[in-house]
Structure 1
């Protein structure tokens, strides 16, 4: 199988502008060719700490045409600190498999001004097109952009009361009324009595979907996933909120720097105020426990995951040798499928042993 080749041309003057200030958010114009289809795009670096890496990640917005493949923008992730390059893709697919909304993704090979830039993961943007492409009802979308997206009245950043309940979120799509609903939900999560919470939270949060997202974070062991690296979607028809994962390269046994993350690093109860309140209700806690048991049996095991890992490895292995940033690391890349499988086995055993804490 061949992965698509993306040919990007940026005028040398604009390349210099990008390189001069990696923290610049203003895009520059570029030409993108995919399968002989020529597209005019705006391009900028994406991410925070990843901008310092030699291999940059990019955010592309289409402007001629204004949409392409039913999208107005895409993200090209370098996956630079992940020695497998697979973890983000593997995570998004896993979330989808366990019944959670998740961005689509595919590997592409990028050329920049005629030179090989290497393997990238193209990630679907979570926006109104994300909803329409799945025939989901319209609704609001908020990005969790920092540690204040913790469903609490208290800030994770300065340990003080938040000045606004919208702190931690970037409004991506929706109406002013949706902003009010977000604030109302966060306030009620924190102020409902135990009985009120058990009876009323189901009018704000799709609890089943929330637990599927929580389970995905727990299995992949994304330590930042509880107060960051997610989007909120409020279904305008049901009025209920779902959580969508984002940026899952620091998973499957490696941290944000690609270093070993032990299988017992993250407790199965997770973190954040909403999770804590849900798990304080007996019937919700047992619902979550049953979900973990089911996923352990059906999805999070070596028999189920190994073929998926191997297929992705086989797909991109030939391109590693053409990636100027990865070709010298091919030996480590070759060891990663076994490393990830060993993590799945160890993490699965740890979670099984901890299930009693949810009784």
Structure 2
């Protein structure tokens, strides 16, 4: 990337600035006009920051109008986001495409980044999905509840959500979804919720979130898409670096930190319905047998590490952590083994 020194200094001094600043993105000897800002919340305070790239119009080279460059600063492996999204695809849930890239800023090494697809109208077009509203669950108020995580009434039913695609009137439909989740009588919930939510896809997403143990993934770190033809909502995973045994600060998490039932208001109400709970159990049992296993995921980890290893020394923020980087595959695989056993041992709780 190439930026005027004045623009770069401004960005460094104004980390919460949201308007794109002009830059040149150079890839394969081709230069592309773009706008750049930092992205994320607590990650903006890290030394190595993540970026949002806005081309303004559709860019054929990158097959995107905008994209994200995630620093993966707190993940010593660099691969948790990528590994998680590939796992979600494996089990049948749509998720963003992503690949690792090596970035320079004005000729100086900036390190390894994850080039991440934006969940927007282009995302839908690539997957031949009809146009429909998309919301980013941007903070912990996105818990499908009438209350905040502190138990206080929300200022708005759409608190925590940022509309990425759609119109203002779509917010009313999102409000209706949240009201229905919290007001449908218990005896009617199993039948009525299917008029608003694609339950099967939600259960698949739930399996992915529970297996990878994204602690925040139940109350943020997802996109909510309303299918343009069916009108049903479905979850799309987003920001899954705090997974596979580490939290958002890179600290180790116990393999049983997230219960087999997950958590948030919608999940609790769905699993309160015996039919849905049995569906979830059967789906999760298949996944822990066939997909969430060391045998299945170890080759994915090895492949990613073989690609990243030659470049780790060129990341100025991680070159002193190479030993930790090399130990992470064993850490991740041990987490998978422990988490797999934990989920198997608790399947009967879903009967």
What TM-score range do you get, normalising by the shorter chain? over 0.9
Q: 106, 116, 134: which is aligned to 1:123?
A: 116
Give the structure 1 partner of residue 30 of structure 2. Answer: 37
Counterpart-to-counterpart distance in 2, 1:67 and 1:143: 25
Alignment of 1:135-174 (within 5 A): 135-157=128-150, 159-174=151-166
In the other structure, the counterpart of 1:5 is: none
1:102 aligns with 2:95: yes
2:55 — aligned with what?
62
Alpha-carbon displacement from aligned partner over 1:267-301 (angstroms, at most 9, x marks no partner)? 01111111000000001001001111000111000
**Which region of structure 1 is more displaced relative to structure 2, 103-112 or 166-175?**
166-175
**Which residue matches 1:333?**
325
Structure 1, unaligned runs of 5 or more: 1-7
Is 2:241 aligned against 1:249? Answer: yes
The 1:64–1:40 alpha-carbon spacing in structure 2 relative to 1, beyond 3 Å, is: farther
Q: How many pairs are equivalent?
A: 351
Q: Pick the aligned partner of 2:315 from 311, 317, 323.
A: 323
Aligned to 1:238: 230
1:114 alignment counterpart: 107
Report the equivalent of 2:291.
Answer: 299
What pairs with 1:263-278 in structure 2 (closer than 5 Å)? 263-278=255-270
* CA RMSD of superposed structures (Å): 1.2
Write the distance in 2 (CA, Å) between the matches of 1:233 and 1:321: 39
Q: What does residue 43 of structure 2 align with?
A: 50
Q: Render the CA deviation track for 1:119-147: whole Å, top value 9, x for unaligned.
A: 10000000111000111111110111112
Give the TM-score normalised by structure 1.
0.95
Measured in 2, the distance between the counterparts of 1:240 and 1:136 equals: 13
Matched residues in 2 for 1:259 and 1:153: separation? 31
2:212 alignment partner in structure 1: 220
Q: 2:178 aligns with which of 176, 186, 199?
A: 186
Question: Which segment is superposed worse, 299-308 or 28-37?
Answer: 28-37
CA distance in 1, matches of 2:197, 2:56: 36
Q: In structure 1, what is the Cα distance between the partners aligned to 2:58 and 2:165?
A: 21
Consecutive unaligned residues of structure 2, counting only runs of 5 or more, are: none
